[in-house]
Chain A
């Protein structure tokens, strides 16, 4: 077999095996370079897999040569390819940009271990995305979560510790709920392979345990994905994590949990349980709408810059769920496209915040008064990404909102209400982004405050690359839209 055929396994194996190597490198620069190399290699593999999948083939890879359903199967289709691009891309971008920022926040002697943790997060998240086995998902979820706790706890503020403890408790409860659900399904079907489960659930006579399992799995993953009102861990974890870690996490960690939620729900439950689509929509659409409204309102009143963006993330998760809750081709497409676009937008915004963090000790909105004149390039990139968050035409954010509104309009009267909420929350986004822009450009720097120098070139250049990617995918959205449409088709399957 050629090496190309092994790519699905290598996607996980490369970062996972590099992690212990990096931990033993005592030179932080070398550890960083090794991590970056592994991450870049993972990104290259993700691109290669995406190109294969775009040709209309989905890849099934039997681990160790054991055929499904007895062995563990890795399954790559358009949905997983899109998520792989997001995960490996965000990791590579953050690492490439972040050396200087990490040097400020992480003690030099701890950096090799920190980077080993980073690679484990990457391996875990990629593992969740490539695997087609329900229990495998649990194991990778815990690998990535445990390593994430470590990265977040590395933040310079002591409040990082209390927020990571909260994150650990809620994350573990979420994962355990998922485990209970998988156990109940295994009890009734005798399989852990997702595709096989979908075939066998139809033959189960007593569906009560399956319904209970669906509840546990949905709740567990909703906790992991920070779906409103289960988002309590997210704002503080994002706020007190090291700036570069926030870039990585905000771009992909909640999206991967949503990926599992959608995949599980649509592949396993949707076709087999009577009226499941109605229950799915009836449960998630109200939560999504509430999340959009409450997240945006909280962002409007928030004073800490990073927490403001974190609350906006809660609202964005609502958009993704709202699209998925429509249970239609357009709806799912819009949700999945938004996973990609929101990763670009939030990645760029948090990178700009990391630039600000290079010269500012504290990151409250009031602290950046007048910074627009001292750090013009950083703030310009922030504005560009902010426009994408609002959804101005020509940016990536517009594309996903456009699809979402089209999907909502298919839903009749309820759809009009959904459109009103989407537009209302976009206006709220204008308010909170404008508050930052106004303070930065029109506020006066306090007398005696330090003069801010522009951020170092690498981080600034990559912030701009991420911001310009928002423009590029706003003007040429073919790649994410094509992948998302393919993914939505595959998820809906028979229902179409």
Chain B
């Protein structure tokens, strides 16, 4: 049961590997970026999983509630920052792909590399 109980973390590992595989194995630059996004999203899940406190509710103080258990808000804040970083990275990556398409007229990494070798 211990293993099944940690299914969040199994999903984290699976997503991480799927993203990593796409980054390494795909030749298409857009697919690489999609892989990179999945790779980063996996880490968001890791952070969100760890902040859950058993029986805890949303970390907003309720007047009158005594002995209320709250989930840890800090990892949520951290991952909000990391999501912003992820968006910026994807946006910048896509911008570079647009420039590569203009300069090489392809978004396949191997084709661009072949053109560089000829030059």
Q: A165 and B85 in contact (CB under 8 A), knowing A153-B99, A172-B40?
A: no
Q: Are B89 and A142 in touch, CB under 8 angstroms?
A: yes
Chain A interface main SS type:
helix
Shortest CB-to-CB span from A369 to chain B, Å, is 22
Which residues of chain B are within 8 angstroms of A106 by Cβ–Cβ distance? Answer: none
The 10 closest A-B pairs by CB, nearest first: A158-B103, A142-B85, A187-B50, A161-B100, A161-B99, A165-B96, A162-B112, A172-B89, A183-B47, A183-B46
Give 11 CB contacts A-B under 8 Å: A149-B96, A150-B92, A158-B103, A158-B104, A161-B100, A162-B104, A165-B100, A172-B36, A173-B20, A176-B40, A180-B43
A466 interfacial by beta-carbon distance below 8 Å: no
Shortest CB-to-CB span from B38 to chain A, Å, is 11
| Beyond A161-B103, A162-B100, 15 additional pairs, beta carbon < 8 A | A135-B78, A135-B81, A142-B88, A142-B89, A146-B88, A153-B96, A158-B104, A162-B104, A162-B113, A165-B93, A168-B96, A173-B23, A183-B50, A183-B75, A186-B75
Give 1 or 0 for each of A145-188: 1 = CB within 8 Å of chain B CB. 01001100100001101101100110011011001100100110
Q: A173 and B39 in contact (CB under 8 A), knowing A142-B89, A153-B99?
A: yes
CA distance A294 to B87 in the complex (A): 37
Which residues of chain A are within 8 angstroms of B100 by Cβ–Cβ distance? Answer: 161-162, 165
Shortest CB-to-CB span from A209 to chain B, Å, is 10
Which residues of chain A are within 8 angstroms of B82 by Cβ–Cβ distance? Answer: 138, 179
Shortest CB-to-CB span from A116 to chain B, Å, is 14
Give 1 or 0 for each of B90-119: 1 = CB within 8 Å of chain A CB. 001100110110011000010011001000
CA distance A279 to B47 in the complex (A): 28
Nearest-CB residue, chain B, relative to A153: B96
Number of interchain pairs (Cβ within 8 Å): 70
Which residues of chain A are within 8 angstroms of B81 by Cβ–Cβ distance? Answer: 135, 139
CA distance A233 to B58 in the complex (A): 43
Shortest CB-to-CB span from A198 to chain B, Å, is 19
CA distance A149 to B36 in the complex (A): 16
Residue in A139, A142, A146, A176 whose Cβ sees the most chain B Cβ within 10 Å: A176
Nearest-CB residue, chain B, relative to A182: B78
Give 1 or 0 for each of B9-38: 1 = CB within 8 Å of chain A CB. 000000000001001000001001000100
Shortest CB-to-CB span from A360 to chain B, Å, is 18
Which residues of chain B are within 8 angstroms of A135 by Cβ–Cβ distance? Answer: 78, 81
Q: Are B88 and A183 in touch, CB under 8 angstroms?
A: no
Q: Are A165 and B97 in touch, CB under 8 angstroms?
A: yes
Nearest-CB residue, chain A, relative to B88: A146
CA distance A158 to B102 in the complex (A): 10
Q: Which of B75, B85, B116 contacts A162 (CB 8 A)?
A: B116
Q: Are B93 and A176 in touch, CB under 8 angstroms?
A: no
CA distance A135 to B39 in the complex (A): 18
